[in-house]
Structure 1
Amino acid sequence: MPNRAADLELAAVVKSYGETIAVDKVSLKIPAGTYCCLLGPSGCGKTSTLRMIAGHESISDGDVMIGNTIVNDLPPARRGTAMMFQNYALFPHLNVRDNVAFPLKMAGVGKAERHQRAGELLGMVDMARYAERLPAQLSGGQQQRVALARALVTNPTVLLLDEPLSALDPFLRVRMRAELKRYQRDFGISFVHVTHSQEEAMALADMVVLMNDGRIEQVGSPREVFNAPRTRFVAQFMGSHNIVPDGERSFAVRADRLRLSASPGGVAGTRATVTDVEYQGMTVNVAMRCADGTDFLATLPEAEYDRMPVAIGDEVAVDWAAADRHELAA
């Protein structure tokens, strides 16, 4: 059975490379049994944070604690963590069973016991029938399951995943999201998953940690971060929000909350010119620009668009309900 779940805590963690600060005093507590996604653009510090938790990067300052233990000086194998890498890092010359059993071999576990344990994990990820195959004989999704089994074979307290879905095609990516979430529930341990995909984070996470420029911009459930962005960066990165200037502050309005009509009225009473129309099947995206240069994007249900179709160059009135205005920090 897996190790007892434990909280993971970062206290003012810093990672610097010479004069460059990649992670800047990050403090975060991830409760035991949480699916946490570290989300953000390239270079925001999310992968450096993950690697410091794993022990693959030294910590410049601050502490990483798993349970009641500060693990800063412990090697990766003694932290109670396991890492699943972006490229899966399977050994091409070892069959599937031996790939999964390899961490146990390095820990000195006997052949019979490690093969038994590898077989159990392969059964859990529905890969037992491929135990004798080499990695090159597997599909991308099958290789991912093997890499996951290998990461879990040591009974980690926390599983760390570095963009594990990025190498998969879009359809397989969606299917593997559901599988990762199921495995996390079954094992009852924390998964800490680095991704730059907002869709992936919202589909998987109990806790989203959105990072920017080495710092945490916002922490919350996917719905909290999407519906109540605290800053302009969060609203823009999560997508589907319009940023509307209003004196010294600005506010956000979700694209699916905009209403288009022929004449101004209501709360906004704003006129804009249509700059693009993009058909998306169930919805239609209408991009617009006001005379002052403010851009708007409205996501309309197909039936609503059909009631008042617009084309590039048309002038429309843009409005929203007062309750849909979300204030952003200055």
Structure 2
Amino acid sequence: MKGSTLELVKVTKRYGQTTAVDAIDLKVEGGAYCCLLGPSGCGKSTTLRMIAGHEAVTDGDVLLGPHNVTDLPPAQRGTAMMFQSYALFPHLTCVDNVAFSLKMRGIDKETRRAKAMELLDLVAMTPYAERLPAQLSGGQQQRVALARALITEPQILLLDEPLSALDPFLRIKMRAELKRLQKELGITFVHVTHGQDEAMALADLVVVMNQGIIEQAGTPREVFNAPRTAFVARFMGGHNVIDVPQGQIAVRADRLSLTPLEGATALVGSAMPAVVRDVEYQGSFVQVGLEAGQANELAAQISEAAFDAMPLQPGDRVAVSWVEADAHRLSTVA
């Protein structure tokens, strides 16, 4: 299998007077792992369905490699879809579920079952080939759904929140499996998620969407360390959006420093007064929630050792400061 470049050109989706996706442009290189990330209702799943051909494009074009596939039916696009619910046929065994699309194409039983067994082996499900979906765990069902999507040898695999139904431990395990398979197969993955940690762990390209537009696209490190907008800074987590005289900035929570605020001691530089709202122990660090006047709610992550040296509790008054080099200026105010 080999991945193809995907390009969206001014792709728009309208439902009556409502615009769900608003003239977005996006290029995903062949063989890349792309995550469409954003809150519910941001347009990410609608975008995925338009790529798949399950939703008609109102305006714009969907290009797969050198071909314009905007008006092609799903089966002729070279894409395969893995749904959130997995959508396995309950009355078919694992091997027959995987082989189903080849059966619909008229491939003989021996050939399609042999190919299905190859894919089950790829996802480590050979011992469960004759089981029904109800006899499998959630993670095992996901592996079967993945094998079924891959049997058509797609150029692009589309995944609609495939890990959301799994428990946290299994979710981490399965995302590592997805990344391994994507690299091994070399095909393009486009994966919809609302989980920032999932996108950061999996993606070569993170695409943050909000209200039908792309707020920012880039590598995980670019998007996390250099958010362009207040929305991206807040949604990616780990950042504080702060109004300063020069404009709006983002400062990572682990880059804030807290010191005692004694009486009316003068504050210098970037420091501002705040009141501790809550304290949460997180193991490797302590999360301190703060109320800071016009800056509103802030969060600081401090090491366990630093917290032990200066224990804090709700109601304590502190000075919050940061190094200017850690302040990232935002280009757009949310």
Alignment partner of 1:205 is 2:203 = yes
CA-CA distance at 1:240 after TM superposition: 1.2
Which residue is equivalent to 2:118? 120
Percent identity (aligned): 62
Equivalent residue of 2:21, what SS? strand
One-letter amino acid matched to 2:292: C
TM-score by length of 2: 0.96
Aligned equivalent of 1:262:
260
CA–CA distance in 2 between the matches of 1:75 and 1:147?
Answer: 21
Question: Retained in 1: the 8 A contact 2:239–2:253?
Answer: yes
* Range 288-297 or range 4-13, more displaced: 288-297
Deviation at 1:307, TM superposition (A): 1.0
**What is the alpha-carbon distance in structure 1 between the residues aligned to residue 81 and residue 229 of structure 2?**
32
Contact in 1 for aligned 2:242/2:295 (Cα 8 Å):
no
| Superposed structure 1 runs of 4+ greater than 6 Å apart | none
- Corresponding residue of 2:160: 162
Which residue of structure 2 lines up, in the alignment, with residue 298 of structure 1? 300
Q: CA RMSD in A?
A: 1.2
Counterpart of 1:13? 11
Judge which range, 266-275 or 57-66, deviates more.
Answer: 266-275
Aligned residue in 1 for 2:151: 153
Moved more, 185-194 or 289-298: 289-298
Which of 229, 235, 258 is matched with 1:237 structurally?
235
In structure 1, what residue type is equivalent to 2:31? G
Instruction: State the TM-score, normalized to the length of structure 1.
Output: 0.97
Give me the whole-angstrom Cα distance separating, in 1, the residues matched to 2:157 and 2:250: 35
Q: Does structure 1 residue 289 correspond to structure 2 residue 291?
A: yes
Alpha-carbon offset, residue 248 of structure 1: 7.1
Runs of 5+ unmatched residues, structure 1:
none
Describe the superposition over 1:102-148 as per-residue Cα deviations: whole angstroms up to 9, x where unpaired.
Answer: 01111121111100100000001000111110000000000000000
* Structure-1 separation of matches of 2:187 and 2:293: 53
State the distance in 2 between where 1:111 and 1:248 align.
Answer: 69
Secondary structure (helix, strand or coil) at the match of 1:251 reads: strand
> What residue identity is the alignment partner of 2:133?
P
Relative distance call for 1:159 and 1:291 in structure 2 (3 A) is closer
- Name the residue aligned to 1:91: 89
Corresponding residue of 2:327: 325
What 5-or-longer segments of structure 2 have no aligned partner? none
Deviations 1:249-272 (A, max 9, x none): 310100000011125656312111
| CA–CA distance in structure 1, aligned partners of residues 163 and 80 of structure 2 | 17
The separation in 1 between residues aligned to 2:194 and 2:247, in whole angstroms, is 27
| Structure 2 counterparts to residues 15-164 of structure 1, below 5 A | 15-164=13-162
Partner SS, residue 274 of structure 1: strand
Query: Post-superposition shift, 1:152?
Result: 0.2
